[in-house]
Structure 1
Amino acid sequence: MVETPAAARWSGGLVLTPGLMAFTGDIGDTAAHSHAAVQVLLVTRGRVVLADAAGRTRPAHLAIIPPGIRHEVRAGPGSTGLLAYLDPDSVAGRAAITRMQGLPADEVASWIAAATPRFSASGADGPGPHMPGLGLPSSGLSGTGHGAADSEIPDPRISGSGNSGEPSRRPRSDSHPAVTAALRLATESPSGPPSLVEMADQVALSSSRLSHIFAAHMGLPYAAWRRWTKLLRALDAVQTGASLTEAAHAAGFADSAHLTRTCRDLFGITPTEALQATGRRT
């Protein structure tokens, strides 16, 4: 009888700060999923394969995955690295999406091409072993010392190449007052971001108008951003000692089952697996 290899498991450290969630350590497998953040992947050891929604696969050491794009992670034994999830409206998120300019957003080859260093006449893509355009250090994140500090991450400020195909969705560089107000209100709300109808009422716009403006400026629909923000709020609550049920209610989920479904849909793993990956007991 041939045994099926066990799925690679996540294990490492997690950092949650406004506009950024970062994981460093052992990279595991995920189910197919998409999320509202811009994902930056750096593999420092081992083999990681990315798959897009059409089933195309590529081994990747560096990748930038746009928000809202369905993908899957398949990690070989002993694979380690850094995964950063960036708010698409942050300076870092905008810089990362800039590298996708002109590339088909839903193709795995584009994600790798966007992150691949493009050497100038001086022979360098960026000024050092860090993410200058993203503001992300390649070391110093909590949890593990798997060599991330020894690997260079490309500077995302350089625009993407002009490949054929549909260009990636990218947020606009300016900021609309309604979007700014909505983001502030969502952050200040003790129960998490309100529904689109409720938010539209608070910023004195119709829901259809706010939906259009929000998508144009953030690069993804309000509903998708709201789910992502609620999930981050729940994970942050767990990080500070809340149970899954307490975190679910604090973030505006109906119950822990609703939180689990959302986490699996957005990250490809369950909250329990995420907690176990960072050494927390469930």
Structure 2
Amino acid sequence: MRPPEWTGQLWLGRDYGLIQGELGCTAPHAHYAHQLILAPTAPVTIELDGQLCTARHLFIPALQCHAILEAPGPLFTLYAEPLTIDAQALQHSLLGVELTLPALAEALRHCPRRIVQDRRIEKALAALDRQLTGKVSASALAAHAHLSLSQLERLFSGQLGLPVRRLVLWRRLRLAIGLVLAGEAVTEAAHGAGFADSAHFSRTLKVLFGVTARQALQQLELRLLD
């Protein structure tokens, strides 16, 4: 059986990530990111909403439950923030692109971005990001956007696809992953991203990505992109 660790390189942009390397198997999970797996050497097998899928090109929409069951050989996997990158635009931008990190990163950099049309959501998201390192109050976010708490929850669930609490966890996780890969210890990274402790961070990573921090982060070499 293949080891569960992820190895290789991670190029991390503002709203996307690219991994070139080997992926271990995962438990069933769902995350707030579109995922695209491109396997140049051998097909990958995943379980997607209870169905087995085997192919060299696999697209996993945001919030879809899935598990990586078999991923032989090196491959590329892409994660894209659905708030800014549309699923159809993502796939269209990568058609015919050479399977190298520089070529994929360039294609993603030029992929059309979605614009948040509702200024209230934009204000709430900006306030959320400012508060990530400490306690995030949904009521304070609502007040900053001149909304009631119930209005904010309806807007987040209806337009972003996530309730406020889950979006906070997703953004905390992105921040903590970046801190770990930049060299911080897991405990310091967890606190720096507003998690109560490293155990909370690890549980969240396992729920959203199906792997532990040790499996996913220790063997990846990070490059931060502009």
Q: Assess same fold via TM > 0.5.
A: yes
In the alignment, is residue 22 of structure 1 matched against residue 18 of structure 2? yes
In the alignment, is residue 61 of structure 1 matched against residue 52 of structure 2? no
Pairwise CA distance, 1:271: 0.9
The equivalent residue for 1:205 is: 147
TM-score by length of structure 1 reads 0.67
Identity %: 30
Change (3 A) 1:128 1:36: closer
| 1:44-123 correspondence to structure 2 within 5 Å | 44-53=40-49, 55-78=50-73, 80-90=74-84, 93-94=85-86, 96-97=87-88
The equivalent residue for 1:222 is: 164
Structure 1 portions without partners, runs of 5+: 100-114, 116-124, 131-136, 142-147, 158-171
AA aligned opposite 1:140: L
Whole-Å separation in 1 of the counterparts to 2:65 and 2:125: 25
The equivalent residue for 1:254 is: 196
Higher relative contact order (CA 8 A, sep 6+): 2
Change (3 A) 1:76 1:22: closer
AA aligned opposite 1:88: P
Pairwise CA distance, 1:227: 1.2
Whole-Å separation in 1 of the counterparts to 2:124 and 2:94: 36
Change (3 A) 1:32 1:126: closer
Whole-Å separation in 1 of the counterparts to 2:204 and 2:164: 16
Whole-Å separation in 2 of the counterparts to 1:82 and 1:14: 10
Higher helix share: 2
The equivalent residue for 2:96 is: 129
Change (3 A) 1:205 1:224: same
Pairwise CA distance, 1:8: 5.1
Change (3 A) 1:226 1:193: farther
Pairwise CA distance, 1:187: 2.6
The Cα offsets for residues 145-196 of structure 1, whole Å up to 9 and x where unpaired, read as xxx87xx99xx99xxxxxxxxxxxxxx9752111111222223335168242
Structure 2 portions without partners, runs of 5+: none
**Aligned alpha-carbon RMSD (Å):** 3.0
| Equivalent position to 2:101, from 140, 146, 165 | 140
Change (3 A) 1:192 1:52: farther
Whole-Å separation in 2 of the counterparts to 1:126 and 1:190: 31
Whole-Å separation in 2 of the counterparts to 1:45 and 1:28: 16
The equivalent residue for 1:105 is: none
SS of 2:218's equivalent in the other structure is helix
Whole-Å separation in 2 of the counterparts to 1:45 and 1:69: 25
Determine which structure has more spread, i.e. the larger CA radius of gyration: 1
Flag as ranges the 4+ runs of structure 1 deviating above 4 A: 125-128
Pairwise CA distance, 1:243: 0.7
The Cα offsets for residues 80-103 of structure 1, whole Å up to 9 and x where unpaired, read as 22211111111xx21x1568xxxx
The Cα offsets for residues 50-100 of structure 1, whole Å up to 9 and x where unpaired, read as 1023x210102222222222110112432x22211111111xx21x1568x
Pairwise CA distance, 1:221: 2.7
